[in-house]
């Protein structure tokens, strides 16, 4: 249980849900993937406000006002990355650089916001054969690994394999292996501007991964870790600074 | 204010205090450097137990029992590094690898425990001319930088300059400059085993650095960040693991 | 002297040169900044082909054909970042991810290609008062620091100060200080895709920085380090990989 | 083929060879593991001097004179870590901090020199069932990955699994998976002082791993990368530096 009071916004493109595709979707995630994630986070963060938004909403539910009160944005997308407006992506990007936390999930690795923040293609190898995934902790001292067993066993999962074209992460917390022998850096952090980012790959529209308690714990840890509710939301900017600018408004502190 | 309940132990060799050397010591730090640090931390962590220990105590006040209840150990040493017993150093080392937090201060860069954890000489350039030090934040998203102004202005300080022979830190949070033009990586983190380490260089026996509110804030942030009170204290060990060991006591979690 | 045979392309927007602004430009850099850089690199890489290109050329001199034979691209820009076509930026970005080396210089920190690769604003504090800059080596084992004295003394320079809004670099090699007390991560590396990037901040249109032998050595080291002439130029891409794909065309190697 | 002229010293405890244990040893590695490694390196570095040394030699073959002419030391040990004298370990440690390259192999993860340089236990999970190991490249831009296929397939190997208790490496180049599902950070670099270190886990006394051309290529890359033959061999030391020390013997360079 986390006692922070956060504004947590779970964003999902919502296309698999709208199409009930795969046909197990409605049964597996009756409230959508975003609903399942939000329900889980509510139980971890009882003092926080957890809401959801989808692609179909006006401005994808990611207006300036909405983001201004969001401490942590979670992002799930898969089929409709290209339908996210560039203006909204720029807005989210600005908020992350200004201090908003971002948790990117699974196929969100190809979301515009993720590739824009990382600067790389974020491409990978994949195969959907329902293989077992094992998620191994390699940085046990990191807050995101707290209370997490190693390995987490995911009975069936889409395979994501290296080469995962991401920059060197600030922290490599989890590495996954798959039955076929591939490996994947499945839990990684980045800082961009004043914001923190956590990417976690387990989770898919075909498997009930987000119902696993250990996966939920990782995501709660991730939300807690990227959140900076007390930090002023301000963008790093080019500033011309006269000599000794820092002594004019400061005494020894 | 931090609401965690921690066992915080401020260790100081206590030699400058015992010798009242420099002669300003007794006036500047009437309770010793450890006392000043403890008093500050008590105000930040009202729910925590903050105690002190010194070299002169039996086992330097760092018995197995004491460390077992210590979530965060702060270390200040300067003149008497060689007088710290190797057995105690091995004990502290084991506790850090097992998850205890460690905050190493100023001239503690040459403490046996620090060089043992880092593997390098931790040597540096120095000069004591009472120069102004400016402490610049370069990773504003890190918890240790929260609420800290950049730069912190330290009116007079001993100069510590590069090359600081440390391994590449996990996080580089602060870089200092001095009037003479030298620079120093003055706030850095490391993880070793399951433990977290924060090193912060400002602070000396000749200057009232530890009375500056911003320095106290950094140290409180550092203590908060290295603490893992809920993590089991266990040493990473070589284990022979039969195939499928992880499925015998785990179902999908 | 470096014996690699490289295709080295020095790109400069060339606007300061075209306008002879500042008025010392023509005398200080009679062949332009790009010409000065190219001349220096020719002396370090006698077996290499060193050429130049500017904004005014067709496709800014950065056609697909040109980039295909370029092992290392150096980038100097300042006044005309916005005039660089997005198409060319995407092309250069693709080549970097595919393995081309990139050296970004001074005010190129705000070039489209740099912010696109890094994902951040790359903003900083600045002031042009002709202050002395000291460039300190903090990672002496890095190839880019080979043969470089610490500090490099730059008698007069524009001040670039933190916060420099860049992602955590792969390697932090140099930190600068300025007379006014500011510090700057002045020599940093990044990897993006299969490519290597080196950013070095000393160098300006108003000061003869690129004529200093030690600065020239750093840039030659940087070019040598980012170059991968034997690596196939190929973009990391999303691939669907059938199970055991790697055993079909490989025996134990 | 690498054209550097290096002093390369392959060190092996040599106990498995002396005992012909396992009984396949003499056939698999007729010149010992050190001999096999040296033969391979000779073919990659025809201009270099490649020699070997073992535990049984005086000072373990690692005298001050020998190390002084060694650019790169490779270290293979397994059964006799405790028999390596502390004095020799301190000597090697000093040479690494002073700039000598070090390549640590397989079970050398528990060698005194490795734990001393890294500061952690370097413990791991293991099992010897002859499982297939796949070695995946995750940092293709690193020199050690040049010309290496991903994955390298090792038909039979001892399993080394996480948690591998090492500090965060400077570069994570290879991650391995094993048939049983474990993963391991199998190719990592560290810098310590002025020296570079590469650790590579594939290789064992029971399997002919060091005869695989791709493994040999990795090791040759590693040797090439840690070598700094032109760097002066000098230990970072504490220095008292008077103000402006750097201007007395330097003009603008």
DSSP C3-71: ----EEEEEE--HHHHHT-STTHHHH-TTHHHHHHHHHHHHH-TTSEEEEEETTSGGGG--HHHHHT-S
| % of chain C surpassing 70 pLDDT | 98
Domains and CATH numbers, chain C: 7-122+187-231 (3.40.50.880)
Using CB atoms, which residue from A132, A168, A175 is nearest to D183? A175
Q: Which of A238, A244, A248, A250 to mutate to test the interface with C (most CBs of C within 10 A)?
A: A238
Helix (H) or strand (E) holding C190: strand C183-192
Question: Which two tokens mark A66?
Answer: 């909405």
For tokens 């504490």, what's the residue? D238
How far is the C-alpha of B206 from the C-alpha of B208, rounded, in Å? 7
For residue D32, pLDDT beyond 60: yes
| % of chain D surpassing 70 pLDDT | 98
Mean pLDDT of C199-219: 96
For residue C124, pLDDT beyond 60: yes
Query: Would you write out chain B's pLDDT as a tens digit for each of its 253 residues?
Result: 788 999 999 999 999 999 999 999 999 999 999 999 999 999 999 999 999 999 999 999 999 999 999 999 999 999 999 999 999 999 999 999 999 999 999 999 999 999 999 999 999 999 999 999 999 999 999 999 999 999 999 999 999 999 999 999 999 999 999 999 999 999 999 999 999 999 999 998 999 999 999 999 999 999 999 999 999 999 999 999 999 999 986 444 4
Shortest distance, CA C162 to any CA of chain B (angstroms): 7
Nearest to D142 by CA among C69, C201, C171, C47: C171
Instruction: Name the closest residue on chain B to residue C134, using Cα atoms.
Output: B181
Are residues D48 and D23 in contact, defined by beta-carbon separation less than 8 angstroms? no
Mean pLDDT of A80-106: 98
DSSP state of C216: H
Residues of D in contact with C196 (CB under 8 A): 141
pLDDT-derived band at C250, boundaries 50, 70, 90: very low
* Least confident piece of the model among A84-88, A94-98, A201-205, C81-85: A201-205
- Across the C/D interface, how many CB contacts are shorter than 8 Å? 64
The per-residue pLDDT for D250 is: 47
**Residue C105 bridge partners (DSSP):** C76, C200
Which residues of chain D from 91 to 130 reach within 8 Å of chain A, CB to CB?
A: none
CA atoms within 13 A on the CB side of D93: 22
Query: Helix (H, G, I), strand (E, B), or coil: what is residue D247?
Result: helix
The per-residue pLDDT for A249 is: 61
Q: Which residues contact D88 (CB under 8 A, 6 or more apart)?
A: D59, D60, D62
Taking residue C212's Cβ as centre, other Cβ atoms within 10 Å add up to 20
Q: Is B158 exposed, middle or buried (0-12, 13-18, 19+ CB in 10 A)?
A: buried
Helix (H) or strand (E) holding D223: helix D213-226
| % of chain B surpassing 90 pLDDT | 96
Query: Which residue would you say has higher pLDDT here, D92 or D249?
Result: D92
For tokens 């790093």, what's the residue? A236
For residue C97, pLDDT beyond 50: yes
Taking residue D26's Cβ as centre, other Cβ atoms within 10 Å add up to 12
How far is the C-alpha of D98 from the C-alpha of C141, rounded, in Å? 10
For chain C, the C-alpha Rg in angstroms (whole number) is: 19
Mean pLDDT of C108-132: 98
The C-alpha angle with vertex A198 and arms to A219 and A36, in degrees rounded to 5, equals: 30
Mean pLDDT of C150-172: 98
Using CB atoms, which residue from C126, C163, C192 is nearest to A119? C192
* Least confident piece of the model among A236-250, B7-21, D51-65: A236-250
- DSSP per-residue codes, A6-56: -EEEEEE--HHHHHT-STTHHHH-TTHHHHHHHHHHHHH-TTSEEEEEETT
CA end-to-end distance (rounded Å), chain A: 35
The per-residue pLDDT for C91 is: 98
The per-residue pLDDT for C249 is: 61
Mean pLDDT of A150-163: 98
Are residues D216 and D228 in contact, defined by beta-carbon separation less than 8 angstroms? no
pLDDT-derived band at C253, boundaries 50, 70, 90: very low
Task: Test A236 with C181 for CB contact under 8 angstroms.
Answer: no
Helix (H) or strand (E) holding D160: strand D152-161
- DSSP per-residue codes, D65-128: HHHHT-SEEEEE-SS-GGGS-HHHHHHHHHHHHTT-EEEEEGGGGGSHHHHHHH-S----EEEE
Question: Which two tokens mark A107?
Answer: 């196929």
The per-residue pLDDT for A248 is: 81
The per-residue pLDDT for D253 is: 46
DSSP state of A196: E
Task: Test D118 with B119 for CB contact under 8 angstroms.
Answer: yes
How far is the C-alpha of B251 from the C-alpha of A153, rounded, in Å? 7
Question: Which two tokens mark D62?
Answer: 């690692």
Are residues B61 and B34 in contact, defined by beta-carbon separation less than 8 angstroms? no
Question: Which two tokens mark B6?
Answer: 């921690």
**Residue C196 bridge partners (DSSP):** C191
The per-residue pLDDT for B249 is: 61
Helix (H) or strand (E) holding B198: strand B195-200
Provide the CA D190 distance to its chain's centre, in angstroms. 11
pLDDT-derived band at D3, boundaries 50, 70, 90: confident
Shortest distance, CA C154 to any CA of chain D (angstroms): 6
Question: Which two tokens mark A109?
Answer: 């690795």
Are residues C47 and C71 in contact, defined by beta-carbon separation less than 8 angstroms? no
Shortest distance, CA B47 to any CA of chain D (angstroms): 32
| Neighbors of chain D with 3 or more C-beta pairs under 8 Å | A, B, C
Mean pLDDT of C180-201: 98
The per-residue pLDDT for C252 is: 43
How far is the C-alpha of D84 from the C-alpha of D62, rounded, in Å? 11
Task: Test A236 with C125 for CB contact under 8 angstroms.
Answer: no
Residue D151, chain C, CB below 8 Å: the answer is yes
Are residues A116 and A89 in contact, defined by beta-carbon separation less than 8 angstroms? yes
**Residue D105 bridge partners (DSSP):** D76, D200
For residue A60, pLDDT beyond 60: yes
- DSSP per-residue codes, D15-73: HHHHHT-STTHHHH-TTHHHHHHHHHHHHH-TTSEEEEEETTSGGGG--HHHHHT-SEE
Question: Which two tokens mark C247?
Answer: 């055993």
Are residues A203 and A209 in contact, defined by beta-carbon separation less than 8 angstroms? yes
Nearest to D41 by CA among D66, D63, D70: D70
Query: Helix (H, G, I), strand (E, B), or coil: what is residue A218?
Result: helix
Residues of C in contact with B140 (CB under 8 A): 163
* Least confident piece of the model among B29-33, C59-63, C190-194, D1-5: D1-5
For residue A31, pLDDT beyond 60: yes
Task: Test B212 with A253 for CB contact under 8 angstroms.
Answer: yes
Question: Which two tokens mark C129?
Answer: 């008062």
How far is the C-alpha of A53 from the C-alpha of C170, rounded, in Å? 35
Are residues C152 and C173 in contact, defined by beta-carbon separation less than 8 angstroms? no
Are residues A97 and A141 in contact, defined by beta-carbon separation less than 8 angstroms? no
How far is the C-alpha of C150 from the C-alpha of C156, rounded, in Å? 17
CA atoms within 13 A on the CB side of D35: 10
């Amino acid at each position: 249980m986390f006692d922070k009071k956060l504004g947590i916004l779970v964003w999902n493109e919502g296309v698999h849900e709208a199409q009930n595709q795969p046909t197990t979707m409605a049964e597996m995630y009756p409230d959508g993937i975003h609903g399942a994630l939000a329900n889980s986070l509510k139980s971890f963060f009882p003092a926080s406000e957890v809401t959801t938004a989808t692609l179909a909403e006006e401005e994808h539910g990611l207006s300036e006002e909405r983001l201004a009160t969001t401490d942590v944005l979670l992002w799930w997308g898969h089929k409709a990355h290209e339908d996210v407006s560039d203006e909204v992506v720029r807005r989210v990007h600005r908020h992350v650089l200004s201090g908003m936390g971002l948790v990117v999930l699974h196929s969100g690795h190809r979301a515009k916001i993720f590739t824009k923040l990382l600067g790389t293609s974020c491409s990978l190898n994949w195969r959907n054969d329902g293989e077992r995934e094992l998620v191994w902790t390699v940085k046990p001292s990191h807050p995101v690994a707290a209370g997490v067993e190693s390995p987490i066993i995911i009975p069936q999962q889409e395979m994501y394999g290296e080469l995962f074209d991401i920059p060197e992460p600030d922290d490599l917390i989890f590495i996954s292996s798959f039955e076929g022998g591939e490996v994947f850096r499945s839990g990684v952090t980045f800082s961009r501007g004043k914001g923190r980012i956590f990417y976690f790959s387990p989770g898919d529209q075909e498997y009930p991964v987000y119902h696993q308690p250990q996966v939920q714990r990782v995501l709660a840890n991730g939300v807690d870790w990227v959140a900076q509710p007390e930090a002023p939301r301000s963008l790093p900017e080019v500033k011309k600074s006269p000599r000794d600018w820092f002594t004019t408004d400061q005494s020894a502190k």
